[in-house]
Structure 1
Amino acid sequence: MATFVLVHGAWHGGWCWRDVAAELSFAGHDVLTPTSSGLAERRALAASATLSAHIDELAGLLYFADLREVVLVGHSYGALVVTGAAARAHARISRLVYVDGMMAEDGQSMFDLLVPARRKWYEEATSGGVVVPPAPEALGIGPDRADWVADRLSPQPLATLTEPLAAPSFPPLARQYIRCTQGPLTGSFSGFATRLRDTAGWDVMDFDSGHDAMITRPLDLAAALVT
């Protein structure tokens, strides 16, 4: 059995992995779903939340919980957090999985990766040092879960999105990219999947869902993470 650490993206918290975590736990795996500072139940810490703080928190979790042979999974913005932590704690990780991840290189911020239309949306959604959450429909959430998700999304501290990633190269690890193929955000991530298909050491999978696959298709996503 494996140890999974599931890292959420912008506006979310560990709550978004609830059903995926339950399925993995039922199958006998150990699962952790940390919430980054400034979000969800930790939103009181928004003023001090940065990308480097989120990376510090995740790397600290791997160390202080003495986790080894970890399957480290990052969704969307969480890809930057996962990559930054992997650069510091690669010896504790067996595999990296990116679910519709924003694939930054060392020195790039998440804002640097946005296609023009998305950058415009982010700029218009920014006020008072935070980016307000999008409508659940934009994340691929149907009417049956829209209220549940909307009630739990938090404003994203702007500093987490503008700070460049500090992730020097680290030894190769098994790497997988799961591209969600449905919904209005596909154009924001398809370029990453296309590039990685031609990159040695990457396994790229197309997954028939909107961006928040962990909420809309948790059982199938859990199965994809195990394979």
Structure 2
Amino acid sequence: MTTFALVHGAWHGAWCWERLVPELEALGHRAIAIDLPIEDPSASFDDYADAVCEAVVDQPRDDLVVVGHSLGGLTVPLVAARRPMRHLVYLCALTPIPGQPFVQQMREDAAMLNADYPKGLGPKDALGRRAWVDNELAAFHLFGDCDDATISAAVARLRPQALNPYGVPCSLRTFPDVACTYVVCAEDRMVNPDWSRAMARDRLGAEIVEMPGSHSPFLSRPKELASILARRT
């Protein structure tokens, strides 16, 4: 039995994995969905990594696969630098540049993200956080191949994302030496699939797996995603 540690991205929470967890369990595995302190303006990506490590502290090396979705891709290599694991999976994920703050990467790499997504976000609140205020744009960018009921339920649970972590230089000196896979969703409307392919190849040296669908396959295609993840065990 493998334990999958599931690390969500910006605006989400552990809830987003609720359809994937039973699919992994049906294949004989265990899944731990972790809530990151994304609303805390004082928390950094290193604090996010600490939360993941605390959640899996009792898991042996050979039984642990860590999965990071979207902005969670900035957290999961920090986890791999802190503790051993069997495999690291980037799912429609962003990735850090060691020593560089993410805000610099956002300024310099125009191909990384869909340039229109900020139109759906409100201004920073008093704590320096941004939240989705346009539900249609949230649906388009985050849940493009989900049905209406799934979209409504998911959008209602989105949380504000603190921007402080974006300005903190990545604490990695180099990427950890762990086998990794990058899962590209071909119709992703948030993280550019062409960017994902090139980055996974050139920056991570990762195995690249492609699947259909948009940015949130854990909601739209959980059975197919579980099958892909189970093959990393």
TM-score range, shorter chain: 0.7 to 0.9
Whether the 8 Å contact between 1:174 and 1:201 is mirrored in structure 2 is no
- Fraction of identical pairs, as percent: 29
- With over 3 angstroms needed to count, the CA separation of the structure-2 counterparts of 1:203 and 1:213, relative to structure 1, is same
1:169-212 CA-to-partner distances (Å, cap 9, x unmatched) read 3652211000111142252x421312433578521011101001
Residues of 2 paired with 1:161 and 1:191: CA distance? Answer: 19
- The one-letter code sitting in structure 1 at the alignment partner of 2:98 is D
The structure in which a higher percent of residues are helix is 1
- The one-letter code sitting in structure 1 at the alignment partner of 2:129 is V
Shift of 1:104: 1.2
Matched, 1:80 2:74: yes
Structure 1 outlier segments of 4+, above 6 Å: none
- With over 3 angstroms needed to count, the CA separation of the structure-2 counterparts of 1:66 and 1:185, relative to structure 1, is closer
For normalisation by structure 1, the TM-score amounts to: 0.85
Matched, 1:68 2:61: yes
1:41-190 map, 5 Å? 43=39, 46-63=40-57, 65-69=58-62, 70-89=64-83, 91=84, 93-114=85-106, 115-116=109-110, 118=114, 121-122=117-118, 125-128=122-125, 129-133=128-132, 135-139=138-142, 140=144, 141-169=146-174, 172-187=177-192, 189-190=193-194
- The one-letter code sitting in structure 2 at the alignment partner of 1:101 is A
SS in 1 for 2:86: strand
For normalisation by structure 2, the TM-score amounts to: 0.83
> What count of residue pairs does the alignment treat as equivalent?
217
Whether the 8 Å contact between 2:92 and 2:188 is mirrored in structure 1 is no
Whether the 8 Å contact between 1:6 and 1:17 is mirrored in structure 2 is yes
Shift of 1:61: 2.6
What stretches of structure 1 of length at least 5 have no aligned partner? Answer: none
Matched, 1:25 2:19: no
Partner of 2:36: 36
Shift of 1:6: 0.7
- With over 3 angstroms needed to count, the CA separation of the structure-2 counterparts of 1:22 and 1:113, relative to structure 1, is farther
1:19-38 CA-to-partner distances (Å, cap 9, x unmatched) read 11111112211110010014
- The one-letter code sitting in structure 2 at the alignment partner of 1:104 is P
